[in-house]
Amino acid sequence: MRKVLNKVSELLCVFLLVFVSCREKNKAPTSEAINSMNLKVGEIPFCGPADKQFGAVGFGTSCSEKIQKEFELALALLHSFEYDEAEKMFAKVIDLAPDCMMAYWGVAMCNYHPLWAPPSQSELKKGSKAIIIAKSLTSKSKRESDYLDAIASFYKNWDKIDHRTRSLRFEKAMEVIYKEYQNDKEAAIFYALSLIAAANPADKTFENQRKAGSILNELYRQEPNHPGVVHYIIHAYDSPELAENALLAARQYASIAPSSAHALHMPSHIFTRLGLWSESVKSNLESIASAQCYAEQTGIKGHWDEELHGLDYLVYAYLQKGENVLAKKECDYLQSIQVANPVNFKVAYAFAAVPARYLLENKLWKEAAGLQIQKTNVNWNDYPWQRAILHFARLLGSIHIGNLDSARVELKQLNSIHDILVNQKDEYKANQVLIQIKASEAWLLFKEGQEDEALKLLYVAADMEDKTEKHPVTPGEVMPARELLGDMLLQMDKSAEALIAYEADLKKHPNRFNGLYGAGLAAEKSNQIERAAFYYRKLIAIANSPGASRPELEAAKMFIKKKGALYSTIR
In whole angstroms, how far apart are CA 35 and each of 287, 371, 405?
33, 46, 57
Contacts (Cβ under 8 Å, ≥6 apart) of 354: 311, 312, 315, 330, 331, 334
- 243 DSSP 8-state letter: G
Query: Is the pLDDT reported for residue 45 higher than 90?
Result: no
Nearest to 91 by CA among 147, 133, 151, 35: 35
Query: Is the pLDDT reported for residue 25 higher than 50?
Result: no
Spatial separation of the C-alpha atoms in residues 321 and 178, rounded to whole Å: 44
Per-residue confidence band for 24, with pLDDT thresholds at 50, 70 and 90: very low
List, for residues 149-164, the tens digit of each pLDDT value. Answer: 999 999 999 999 999 9
3-state class percentages of the chain: helix first, strand second, coil last, to nearest 5: 70, 0, 30
Helix axis angle for 227-236 and 185-197, nearest 10°, is 30
In whole angstroms, how far apart are CA 37 and each of 4, 41, 75, 131?
18, 12, 19, 11
Query: Is residue 75 within 8 Å of residue 105, measured between CB atoms?
Result: no
Is the pTM above the cut of 0.85? Answer: yes
Q: What is the DSSP string of 487-529?
A: HHHHHTT-HHHHHHHHHHHHHHSTT-HHHHHHHHHHHHHTT-H
Query: Is the pLDDT reported for residue 268 higher than 60?
Result: yes
Contacts (Cβ under 8 Å, ≥6 apart) of 285: 314
**Which value, in Å, is the radius of gyration of the alpha carbons in the chain?**
25
List, for residues 451-509, the tens digit of each pLDDT value. Answer: 999 999 999 999 999 998 888 889 999 999 999 999 999 999 999 999 999 999 999 99
Helix/strand/coil for 396: helix
Per-residue confidence band for 50, with pLDDT thresholds at 50, 70 and 90: low
Q: Any idea what the Cα angle at residue 518 is, between residues 440 and 542, rounded to 5°?
A: 120
pLDDT of residue 51: 54
Nearest to 193 by CA among 183, 202, 185, 182: 185
Please state the domain extents for the chain.
Answer: 363-479, 503-571
